């Protein structure tokens, strides 16, 4: 009978022998070396340093130390070096469940979630017993990849091994089934949990919100007993993502009433809602709470603040936050460039773009959207061309459809044929937005021939949305082609396409008030319409005359004048005038492009009332003061 083979280092030695003493010294030396290596790994900041530490491990004969190999694999994921981790894993003679867990985790972090199930299958083939931790990571990967069948198999293994009710596994299962849209199974797992707390509920709330089941999310949220910050934040974010911004801010105020502490994510969600509604005062109030909750002005929060102040009409406060940020990244610069662009500060935006490059930061596709918009709002054709060309030639950023705002830039300055040629040379297929931009320019510059050519292209396109059809109808109406305009409107009815209603909002005393065209729902409607009539008389004395040609309907002149007088932004301004101090700035947000007549009228209102009026329309900001607008009537 052959003797069994014993692994080196496991042979028991007499305690008093010289060999035993030598063995203890070796063990002590090995332990000390391992501790030193782990200390080096904790301090490791770059993949180059990691390579050096790995070389040291190889040199000291610790290449198969399971603990050090786990630490190495784990550190690779923190440095986003999955390729190196994979090569390292292949050198392990007998990988265990911890090594697999480290590599699977690293694959998820590095965006290679599709490899995780293959690694899990390999683990099973190696007769290694999976634990609930590795299963939770694989389920996370299956949720990211929407791999329903693979996830079900992992769920089956979890049940067989008796870890299906482990809290971490249950939460990953809820997330996995929720992301895959299988809410029956997600709810079954949730209901079967031994501990259904706010954390598990938050996961299901987020999944409901992601799939636009916002009522289910709200019902579950309301039934959670002890809601934590994450649970409140998930519900607020879900409302914002589903277009229910006012409700999100209402819930945020309720959260404050419950004295639930804010965190960085809550703040960013709330500021995002303020940005959409133009709720400047609430945004300022949230900003004032930063120190109380220990929220630092890092690049993430700072960029959101810059965006909020810019979109709420306070560009100076946005610039102040930007200047005070201790560190700035590409996102920070993008927020500030976009803010300058939407306020018509085109040359400042271009200057900041140059400064960003001088700081050694590489612009991305969002940077170019912002700076090209700035060129468009400022009519900077040559600079626009120069920046557009630099995208591929200098920065290796391939233009996307949103970068072809050059069409808007050329169209605004009246270079319609050049804009048409530019579209023809596009590297990607132009969409209805691009053609719609040119059509709008044709309407502005009264070029019927090109307008009809573009209209024909748009009609044949299946991608046209409600805005495209409304624009087509308006173009025909502006040229007096009422039959064609009615035909387009009839097609809208036939296809079930609804025109987006004009909506304006104004913040007064930390409360956002919304108005539609001819709105009579507001409790102070009588006062609002009296103010409207009062202004009408004063404006006529000042020389204002309604631009009735902007009403693109075949109705008589009196009806056109009435249709203009009840535009939503006028109602919002009138409410602001009767509800605020005589010196207060009025800030109005409009979801559509301001019409020529409203633009002219608001200039007169700013002169008569001596009020500063800041209007944000779909395209940009207009700052009205003493009868003038910051856009210089170029928008």
Torsion of CA 174, 179, 184, 186, to 10 degrees: 0
Residue 486 to residues 151, 258, 470, 489, 555, Cα–Cα distance (Å): 54, 54, 11, 5, 13
Report which DSSP code applies to 372. H
Q: Mean pLDDT over residues 156-164, rounded?
A: 93
pLDDT at 463: 66
pLDDT of residue 571: 96
Residue 150 banded pLDDT, cuts 50, 70, 90? very high
- Within the chain, which residue ranges are assigned CATH 1.25.40.10? 64-196, 405-500
- List Cβ neighbours of 453 (8 Å cut-off, separation of 6 or more): none
Q: What integer best gives the mean pLDDT of the chain?
A: 88
Residue 15 is predicted with a pLDDT of: 41
* pLDDT over threshold 80, residue 33: no
Which whole number is the average pLDDT over 149-168? 94
Higher pLDDT, 195 or 160: 160
Give the C-alpha distances (Å, rounded to integers) separating 311 from 101, 303, 345: 44, 12, 14
Is the confidence at residue 302, as pLDDT, over 80?
yes
Of the candidates 619, 572, 622, the residue with the CA atom closest to the CA atom of residue 593: 619
At residue 21, the pLDDT reads 42
Q: pLDDT at position 14, please?
A: 38
Residues 347 and 377 sit within 8 Å (Cβ to Cβ)? no
- Ranking 74-88, 227-241, 373-387 by mean pLDDT, the lowest is 74-88
pLDDT at 143 over 70: yes
Q: Give the CATH fold of the 64-196 domain.
A: 1.25.40
Dihedral pair phi/psi, residue 554, rounded to 5°? -85, 70
Alpha carbon 242 to chain centroid distance? 13
CA 74 to chain CA centroid, nearest Å: 30
Average pLDDT of the residues in 349-353: 97
CA dihedral 620, 625, 628, 631 (to 10 degrees): -20
Q: Report, as an integer, the average pLDDT of 220-231.
A: 94
Per the CB < 8 A criterion, the answer to whether 47 and 84 are in contact is yes
Range from 65-79, 252-266, 463-477 carrying the lowest mean pLDDT: 463-477
- Residue 517, φ and ψ in degrees, nearest 5: -60, 125
Q: Which CATH architecture has domain 405-500?
A: Alpha Horseshoe (1.25)
- Specify the long-range contacts of residues 217-224, CB closer than 8 Å, at least 24 apart: 224/198
Contacts of 194 (CB under 8 A, 6+ apart): 165, 167
Distance from C-alpha of 337 to C-alpha of 310, rounded to nearest angstrom: 10
Q: Is the pLDDT of residue 501 over 90?
A: no
Could you tell me the pLDDT band of residue 471, with boundaries at 50, 70 and 90?
A: confident
What span, in angstroms and rounded, lies between the C-alpha atoms of 5 and 10?
A: 11
**The pLDDT of residue 29:** 46
Which position has the token pair 């040229």?
479
How far lies 453's CA from each of 126, 307, 425, in Å? 67, 39, 17
Most distant CA atoms of the chain, gap in Å: 118
The more confident residue out of 558 and 335 is: 335
Residue 553 has pLDDT above 90, yes or no: no
pTM: 0.79
- Residue 513: strand pairing partners: 506
DSSP letter assigned to residue 225: S
What's the confidence (pLDDT) of residue 117? 94
Q: 367: which 2 tokens? A: 């940077």
Calculate the dihedral angle through the C-alpha atoms of 226, 230, 236, 241, rounding to the nearest 10 degrees.
-140
Asked if pLDDT for residue 326 goes beyond 80, the answer is: yes
Residues 318, 341: Cα–Cα separation, whole Å: 13
Tell me what the mean pLDDT of segment 66-88 comes to.
87
C-alpha 493/C-alpha 473 separation (Å) is 13
> What was the pLDDT predicted at 528?
97
pLDDT at 549: 64
How confident is the model at residue 28, as a pLDDT? 46
| pLDDT value at 298 more than 50 | yes
> Residue 320 is encoded by which pair of tokens?
């102040």
Q: Where are the alpha helices (DSSP H) in 325-462?
A: 330-342, 346-358, 365-378, 381-393, 406-412, 416-424, 432-444, 448-460
The pLDDT of residue 385 is: 93
**Coil, helix or strand for 593?**
coil
Mean pLDDT throughout 42-70?
83
Confidence class for position 581, pLDDT limits 50, 70, 90: very high
Which pLDDT belongs to residue 6?
28
Task: Return the SS3 of 629.
Answer: strand
Comparing CA positions, the residue from 619, 624, 618 lying closest to residue 587 is 624
Average confidence (pLDDT) over 32-42:
76
pLDDT at 534 over 80: yes
Cα–Cα distance, 415 to 433 (Å, whole number): 18
Position 161 pLDDT exceeds 80? yes
pLDDT band at residue 551 under the 50/70/90 scheme: low
At 392, give phi and psi (nearest 5°).
-85, -40
Q: How far apart are CA 193 and CA 190, in angstroms?
A: 5
- Hey, which residues does 507 pair with through a beta bridge? 512
pLDDT of 371 reads 97
């Amino acid at each position: 009978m052959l003797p069994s083979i014993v692994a080196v280092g496991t042979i028991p030695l007499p305690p008093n022998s010289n060999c035993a003493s030598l063995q203890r010294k070796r063990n002590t030396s090995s332990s000390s070396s391992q501790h030193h290596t782990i200390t080096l790994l904790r301090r490791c900041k770059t993949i180059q340093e990691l390579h050096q530490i790995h070389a040291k491990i190889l040199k000291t004969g610790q290449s198969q130390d399971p603990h050090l190999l786990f630490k190495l694999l784990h550190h690779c994921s923190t440095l986003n070096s999955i390729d190196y981790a994979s090569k390292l894993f292949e050198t392990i003679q007998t990988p265990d469940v911890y090594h697999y867990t480290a590599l699977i985790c690293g694959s998820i972090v590095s965006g290679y979630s599709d490899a995780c199930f293959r690694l899990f299958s390999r683990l099973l083939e190696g007769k290694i017993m999976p634990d609930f931790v590795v299963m939770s990571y694989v389920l996370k990967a299956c949720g990211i990849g929407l791999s329903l069948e693979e996830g079900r198999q992992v769920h089956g293994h979890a049940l067989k091994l008796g870890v299906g009710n482990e809290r971490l596994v249950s939460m990953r299962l809820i997330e996995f089934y929720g992301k895959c849209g299988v809410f029956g199974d997600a709810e079954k797992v949730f209901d079967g949990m031994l501990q259904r707390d706010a954390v598990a509920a938050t996961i299901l709330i987020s999944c409901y919100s992601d799939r636009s089941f916002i009522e289910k999310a709200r019902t579950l949220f309301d039934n959670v007993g002890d809601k934590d910050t994450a649970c409140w934040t998930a519900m607020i974010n879900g409302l914002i993502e589903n277009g229910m911004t006012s409700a999100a801010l209402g819930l945020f105020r309720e959260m404050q009433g419950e004295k639930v502490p804010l965190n960085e994510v809550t703040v960013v969600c709330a500021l995002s809602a303020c940005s959409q509604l133009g709720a400047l005062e609430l945004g300022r109030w949230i900003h004032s709470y930063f120190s109380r909750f220990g929220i630092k002005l890092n690049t993430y929060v700072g960029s959101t603040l810059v965006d909020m102040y810019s979109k709420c009409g306070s560009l100076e406060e946005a610039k102040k936050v930007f200047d005070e940020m201790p560190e700035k990244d590409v996102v920070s610069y993008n927020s500030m460039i976009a803010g300058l662009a939407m306020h018509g500060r085109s040359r400042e935006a271009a200057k900041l773009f140059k400064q960003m490059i001088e700081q050694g930061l590489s612009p991305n596709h969002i940077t170019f959207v912002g700076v090209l918009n700035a060129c468009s709002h400022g009519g900077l054709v040559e600079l626009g061309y120069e920046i557009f060309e630099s995208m591929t030639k200098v920065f290796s950023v391939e233009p996307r459809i949103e970068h072809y705002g050059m069409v808007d830039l050329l169209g605004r300055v009246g270079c319609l044929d050049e804009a048409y040629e530019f579209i023809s040379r596009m590297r990607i297929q132009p969409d209805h937005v691009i053609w719609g931009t040119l059509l709008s320019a044709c309407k502005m510059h009264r070029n019927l021939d090109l307008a009809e050519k573009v209209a024909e292209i748009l009609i044949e396109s299946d991608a046209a949305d409600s805005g495209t059809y409304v624009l087509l109808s308006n173009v025909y109406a502006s040229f007096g082609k009422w039959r064609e305009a009615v035909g387009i409107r009839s097609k809208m009815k036939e296809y079930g396409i609804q025109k987006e209603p004009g909506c304006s909002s104004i913040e007064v005393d930390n409360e956002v008030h919304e108005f539609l065209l001819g709105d009579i729902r507001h409790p102070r409607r009588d006062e609002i319409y009296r103010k409207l009539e009062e202004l009408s008389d004063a404006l006529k004395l000042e020389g204002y005359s309604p631009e009735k040609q902007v009403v693109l309907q075949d109705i008589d002149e009196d009806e056109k004048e009435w249709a203009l007088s009840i535009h939503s932004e006028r109602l919002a301004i009138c409410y602001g005038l009767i509800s605020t101090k005589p010196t207060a700035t009025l800030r109005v947000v409009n979801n559509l492009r301001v019409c020529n007549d409203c633009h002219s009228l608001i200039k007169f209102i700013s002169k008569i009332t001596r009020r500063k009026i800041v209007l944000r329309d779909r395209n940009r900001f207009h700052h009205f003061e003493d009868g003038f607008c910051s856009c210089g009537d170029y928008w």
